[in-house]
Structures are given as C-alpha cells and as structure tokens.
Structure 1
Amino acid sequence: MATAQSLRFQDEPQVDPHRESSGIDWATVALPDAWADRIDWTHLPDLKRVARTLLGRAHRPVQLPADLPGRELIPKYVLQEFHNLPNGNYSKSFSRGYAQGFDRVMLGSLTQGRQRVAAALRGAQCALDLGCGAGRQAAALRDAGVADVWGLDPSPYLLQYAARAHERINWIQGVAENTGLADGQFDAVAVCFVFHEIPPHYLRRALLELARITRPGARLAVLEPSPVQWQQGYRWLWRHYGWRGLYFRALAQRAHEPFADAWHRQDFTALLAEVGFTVREEETSCPFRFFLAERTQ
C-alpha cells in the first residue's frame, strides 16, 4: 500500500506530516480582520461585490491576512469562496454567519446526520472530526461518550468559533491530506460534508493520511451530499422526495462547489479499498450519502 509521504503536489504546503500541535488556544487567540470584516455597508462597490458573491455570479480567490495563524498550512484549493461566502470561511463575520446559518439552510437535517455519524462511532476511545468546521460533529462525538475528541480544520476563524462554542475537545489546524497528527492515533474518524470540497488527487492523499493516523480496526463514518439532488431532475425528485427534493436540487445548483461534480463521479468504495478500508454500510438518499467503513489492512 502506498504511503501518505509518497504523494506530493506543487501547491501543497511543505509541512512535516508528523508536526506537533501548535498549542494555540483557539478560543482566545487574536485573529486579524479579513477584507470581508471591513466591508463598508454604506459603500455601493462593497455592496455590489458582496451581492455578486452571495448570488453566485462572481467568485474570487480568498485573500488571507498576512498575519493569520497557520497561513502557510492552507493549500490553494481551499482558498475559494465555497458556498458563495465572500472570502470563503476566512473572515470573522461570514464564518460566524455560516456557522450559525448552515443548519437552517439544510432544514435541520444535519442534526440527524451528525447523530447518525456519532452513533456509528460510539464506543471509540479517540476520535477525529476531520474538517470540523464550526465543531458540531465533534460535539456530537463527545456527547456520544467518546472521551478523547479532536477537531481539525484549516480555517482559524471556524476553529475559533468551534472552540468558543464547544468545550472538552482538542482543536487543531490542518488539512485532510496533511493533518500533522500521530501514526495510529485514532480508532474512529468522522467526516461530515468535507470530501466533496477536495479535488480528486488530494482526496486520494487524504485517504492515505487517514490510513496512517488510524489503528487497525478503526471505523470511518462519512456523511456527504447525495448525488441524488446533484444528478436527478426536478420531476424525479418531486416524485420521490416532494418539495424537499426540489429544495435540495435548487440548493445544489446555486451553491459554489467546484469539486462536487468530480466527487459524485468517483467510486468512493474502491478508493477506500485502495488504502485499506472496507465499507460495511452505505446508504444514498436525499440529501445525504452515508458510508461506514472499517480499516481492515
């Protein structure tokens, strides 16, 4: 089986994959304002720029403040205005709005989705929430009885929100393909709405990284957007899922997800098998696709 260290890409930050945690207290660290935090809401050009992004009519590369902690750890593919957010998840104001509003946009369905992931990993001793965002999946793991929970995300702004909202969780900055965590550290990993935001070659590296940081027998629970609302037409969705199917179809079409099409075209079960994970459970509905896999090699 290939090793995580054997794959390198030109725009990947050259960081020691076994680096220790920076020790940053994300709840209290002072984060710099991004341009999106300095918007003048009375200035017409600012309003036009924000409106064009929110409506999905224009997307620009994310601009990181020069003094942002861990700036060197963030690869270029992450620096996009995902979900039509001005400056993506790299500002205090819009990251906070995303953290507070995303569950509403998903009609509350993610609460049940996170609970399903947590239930699948119940009994684990040490679990990672990969791409933890605002920290709700990590909190669900903690509430399910996992004693040692870690949350990893590239955005300092989301990490700060998560650290302030949820206690007794270890928060660390990193990306899926370069976590900086120890070999065999985890016996469970949760991935909630992350893999569809990773380009295919980085996804393969991320899975190799998961194989590195998990123990034999470790469980991997993955919740991602379903291909159903991405690929099926409105008539089919109305017939099978009613108005919710139409809603999630419209949402999939409007949200900026540059790698989602590639994600839906991949054979994820085969990719997992390549790095030593065997799928034990899979379900596709609307709006989610769920996988439960075990590291068998």
Structure 2
Amino acid sequence: MTINDNPTLLSCLRLLVGLFIGKENLKLYDTLDWQGASDRFSAIDFDYPQYYTSKDFHGIQGGYLNPIAPVTYNAVTRFAAPPNEIKLRQQAIAKIKNQPQKILDLGCGTGSSTLILKQAFPEAELTDLDISPYMLLVAEHKAKRENLTIHWQQGLAEATSFSDAEFNLISVAFLFHETPVHISQAILQECQRLLKPGGQIIILDGNQQRLRHVNWLIKLFREPYSKVYANESVDDWLLNSGFQQAQTSYAGWISQITTGFKFVNYSL
C-alpha cells in the first residue's frame, strides 16, 4: 500500500508539508493552473539548457520545472539564508545608488526581491526574468496580491532578448550558486551589455568564503553547483566582465552582497 492509498497517512503528510511551507502555499499548490502557467509564460519552442534540466535542485525531481519547487522555494530560502532572508534582500536593495528608472531582476524566482524593489522604487519600470514558468506564476500571484505592476518574462539570464543599455539597475539574488561557473560569468557579460553606462548591479548570494568550509550544508540543501561556486570570487567575475568598484560585504550568517558599476567613459 502506498501513501496515496492510505487517507490517514496522506492527511498527516499534507499536515507536515503545510507546516513547512505554510497553508497559503499549500493552497496555491492545490489551486493554481500549473499547466496553464507553463503554456502562458513559456516562450514558443523555448530550449531549456542541459545544465538546468539535468539537475534536481533542492532534491526535487525536475528541479524548478516542477510545481513543487515554487511553493517550497520561500521555505527553503528562509532556512538557507539565516537569520532573516527578507532582511537580507532589504540590505541588498539598501545599497542601490540613485533612483533607477528601469530595473531588471534576473532569475527572479518567486519574486521575493522583486516586490521589495517595486515597493522601494514605485515609479520605476520593473522587469523580471526567470527560466521557470512555474516560478513566474507564483511571482505574478504575489505581485497581484500586493497590487503591484511588474513585467514577467521567461528567458535565459545569460542570453536575454533585451536591448543594449536598457536598464539602470540589475538585481541578481541567489542565482549564481545555482548555475555553473561559465554560465554565471556569461550572465555578468550579459548584464554588462544590458546596463546603461554608470548602471549598477546588485548581487545577493551565498558567502563564498564560508561555504568553502561547510560542505555538509551544501549537501543538506542539495545544491548541485554550490561547491564550485564557493571556490570562486564574484568580485573577480565582475572585474573580468568590465565592471568597476566591485565590492563584497558579508551579510547574515552565510550570505554576501556584491555591488558593481558599468564603466562611464567621460571623455566621449
């Protein structure tokens, strides 16, 4: 007999899952049109890259191409970014200079940073990009609940369809530890293309120095690329991609915030 054949066990399992992810997220899992989301947000003939489809992020079969991923994402991130994930995102956003008019949130996930960005800069035009249509569906749901207008788009962070020098600010939160190093570097090259001169990039992710010494934590959260990420330097990536004033500060227990700016040629 399987769990699905036993109503009592199934009820207990749903209770445990509900306690972990929250009743609202459990309700979302039961009520959202996941297949419709896949159709509505997915670009025609979208080609999912092998580095994404071949890994079961957080131990979830199918990774972020599974409806379970977006409804458990906030709970997983809350535990993976102690002591307070929302405050960490707010700390990152507090490092933004000036008043950006056009903002891009790359790898937006379920929109946790997106909503804070929109609340901080209500007059800015905010575009969010993620590879998973399921993540975008939950992000859109959260934005509608807060009555926020945000543009959602499926796409690859390393190869977007946006124009050159289109954005004043790019936010990248908890993305690089989930991509191979060469893809992370390609994403930064794309950010260099997308930013206006003087534009800023804000990166919130795992503390690379500390993660090098806690391999057990990487294994616990089933992160396929985090070990290699930990042995790299986001500062070096930024400098190698042509950014200036690259600076990393440590935040929370195992997180870091990195900022950089696109070069401005004042001689022109």
TM-score (norm 2): 0.75
Point out 4+ residue stretches in structure 1 off by more than 6 angstroms. none
Q: Which runs of 5+ in 2 are unaligned?
A: 11-34
**After superposition, where does 1:141-290 map in structure 2 within 5 Å?**
141-146=117-122, 147-166=124-143, 167-232=148-213, 250-284=216-250, 286-290=253-257
Return the alpha-carbon distance in structure 2 between the equivalents of residues 102 and 267 of structure 1: 22
Q: Going by fraction, where is helix more abundant, 1 or 2?
A: 2
Q: Which of 88, 98, 113 is the equivalent residue of 2:88?
A: 113
Return the alpha-carbon distance in structure 2 between the equivalents of residues 259 and 222 of structure 1: 17
| Residue in structure 2 matched with residue 72 of structure 1 by the alignment | 46
| Residue in structure 2 matched with residue 14 of structure 1 by the alignment | none
- Going from structure 1 to structure 2, the CA distance change for 1:250 and 1:263 (only over 3 Å counts) comes to closer
Matched, 1:88 2:63: yes
TM-score (norm 1): 0.68
Return the alpha-carbon distance in structure 1 between the equivalents of residues 235 and 210 of structure 2: 20
| Residue in structure 2 matched with residue 136 of structure 1 by the alignment | 112
Return the alpha-carbon distance in structure 1 between the equivalents of residues 210 and 246 of structure 2: 24
- Going from structure 1 to structure 2, the CA distance change for 1:102 and 1:269 (only over 3 Å counts) comes to closer
- Going from structure 1 to structure 2, the CA distance change for 1:204 and 1:41 (only over 3 Å counts) comes to same
- Going from structure 1 to structure 2, the CA distance change for 1:78 and 1:228 (only over 3 Å counts) comes to same
Q: Which runs of 5+ in 1 are unaligned?
A: 1-39, 48-64, 234-248
SS of 2:129 mapped into structure 1: strand
Amino acid at match of 2:107: G
Question: Identical aligned pairs, as a percentage?
Answer: 25
SS of 1:134 mapped into structure 2: coil
Q: After TM superposition, give the deviation of residue 282 of structure 1 in Å.
A: 1.4
Amino acid at match of 2:91: R
| Residue in structure 2 matched with residue 37 of structure 1 by the alignment | none
Q: After TM superposition, give the deviation of residue 199 of structure 1 in Å.
A: 0.9
Q: Deviations over 1:200-231 (max 9, x none)?
A: 22122111111111111001111111134422
Return the alpha-carbon distance in structure 1 between the equivalents of residues 213 and 80 of structure 2: 20
Q: After TM superposition, give the deviation of residue 112 of structure 1 in Å.
A: 0.9
Give the count of matched residue pairs.
226
